[in-house]
Amino acid sequence: MARSNLKFNKKAWDEIVKHVIDTEGVDRMKRVADAANGHIDSDGYQVSTQGDDPLDKRDYSATVITADAEAMADNAKHNTLVQEFHKAGGN
C-alpha cells in the first residue's frame, strides 16, 4: 500500500482556530459580558481568551470571567452568567 504524503500544517491550523475564536467567539462572549455587567456597577465581567502555545486539541477558547469581587458575588448570588449565557447564541 502506498504511503500517504499528506502533511498536517499544525501551525496554520492553530492560526485558523485562533482566528475563529478571536473574530466569532470573542464577540459572542462580549455580548454575555455586557449583559452581565448591566447587573452590577463595575465592569467586573470580562472576556478572556486562553490556550496553550502551540495549541493542544481544541484548547483555545473565549470565556467570560468574574474579574472583581462585585462580579463574583453577583454571579454567586444570582447565577448571572448562566442567566445571560443565551446572549452568546444567534447572530
Partner 1 sequence: MTTPVAPVIPYAAKVVRTYLTAALGPSVRVATKVPAERPAKLVMISTAPTSGGTNLVLSSRRLIIQVFHADETVAGELAETVVAHLKSARYVQGNGLRNVTVVGTPARFDDPDDSTPRFQMTVDVLLRAVV
Which residues would be at the binding site for partner 1 (CB under 8 A)? 73, 76-77, 79, 82-83, 85-86, 89-90
Minimum CB–partner distance for residue 31 and partner 1 (Å):
13
Q: Which is nearer to partner 1, 49 or 83 (CB)?
A: 83
Please name the residue ranges forming H helices in the chain. Answer: 10-20, 26-37, 69-78, 80-84
If the CB atoms of residues 17 and 25 are measured against partner 1, the closer one turns out to be: 25
Report the nearest approach of partner 1 to the CB of residue 35 (Å).
11
Mapped onto helix, strand or coil, the DSSP state of residue 19 is: helix
Which grid coordinates belong to 89? 447564541
Task: Report the nearest approach of partner 1 to the CB of residue 78 (Å).
Answer: 10
20: how many CB neighbours lie within 10 A of its CB? 12
Nearer to partner 1, 18 or 30 (CB): 30
What's the full length of the chain, in residues?
91
Identity of the residue, 37 or 75, whose beta carbon is nearer to partner 1 in the bound complex:
75
Q: What's the gap between Cα 49 and its chain centre?
A: 5
